[in-house]
Amino acid sequence: MLSDAPASTLRGGRKPDPALVGRTVTINRSAQELYDFWRNFENLTQFMDNVRSVETLDGGRSHWTIAGPAGTEVKFVSRITEDQPGRVIAWESEEGADVRNTGRIEFIDAAPGRGTMVRATITYDPPAGAIGRAVAKVLQREPNVQARRDLRRFKQLMETGEVTSSASPSGRRSEDPTKQYL
């Protein structure tokens, strides 16, 4: 199941703005197993389409290279701000990031026998504001679209061991291979 996550306020009590991304997916694996896989940030390139590389640095920091619109690359160093094994990973980009961002991944036990809900909440300040957001959306690099697709691929990888591009949300192949489900 994939849905928009309700997000009424951000950390620090700020109201959300148009640069808020919130998605949730339920995965048939334990919270600890999903956390352990995600916490090894180098693993993220296996299912995050725009993530070109993640290099772990010292002190809970990592260097990210992300594909941006029109062949550009976005680079930043992020710092973990909260780490609760099996439950939460939160971060924020450090000063000087190409795109300032904060985020939080929560691993929440679903109903018995249903696995774990993985909730991703990300805020970002796109370059060129609303214009940059519009360009990214047109070029399929908008974070809201990418988060939905990436969580779907994470679910596929964790439940089947592989990522397939033609699967529908139900796992059945689409009759129209050009139709986007994510």
Q: For residue range 131-146, what is the model confidence (pLDDT) as tens digits?
A: 344 444 444 445 667 7
Q: What is the pLDDT at residue 176? A: 38
Give the per-residue pLDDT at 123. 84
CA terminus-to-terminus distance, the chain: 12
Q: How many alpha carbons fall within 13 Å on the CB side of residue 85?
A: 1
CA within 13 Å, CB half, 80: 18
Does pLDDT of 20 surpass 90? no
| Cβ atoms of residues 125 and 118 within 8 Å | no
Dump pLDDT digits (tens) for 66-103. Answer: 887 677 788 999 999 999 999 999 999 999 888 788 99
Show me where the domains of the chain are located. 2-7+17-160
pLDDT value of position 165: 66
Count other C-beta atoms under 10 Å from residue 41's C-beta: 19
Structure tokens of 90?
A: 């939160």
On average, the pLDDT of the chain sits at 77
Q: What is the CATH number of domain 2-7+17-160?
A: 3.30.530.20
Q: Please state the rounded mean pLDDT for residues 54-72.
A: 88
**What pLDDT band is residue 5 in, cutting at 50, 70 and 90?**
very low
Name the token pair of 98: 């190409």
**Amino acid, single-letter form, for residue 65:** T
Q: pLDDT digits over 143-174, tens only?
A: 667 788 899 999 999 999 998 865 444 343 33
- How many angstroms separate the CA atoms of 120 and 44, rounded? 13
Top-confidence residue, 89 or 21: 89
The whole-number average pLDDT for the span 29-42 is 96
Tell me what pLDDT residue 144 has.
65
* CA nearest neighbour of 48 among 162, 153, 172: 153
Instruction: Name residues whose C-beta falls within 8 Å of residue 165's C-beta, 6 or more positions apart in sequence.
Output: none
Average pLDDT, integer, range 47-76: 89
| 136-161: burial string, b at 16+ Cβ within 10 Å, e else | beeeebbbbebbbbbbbbbbbbbeee
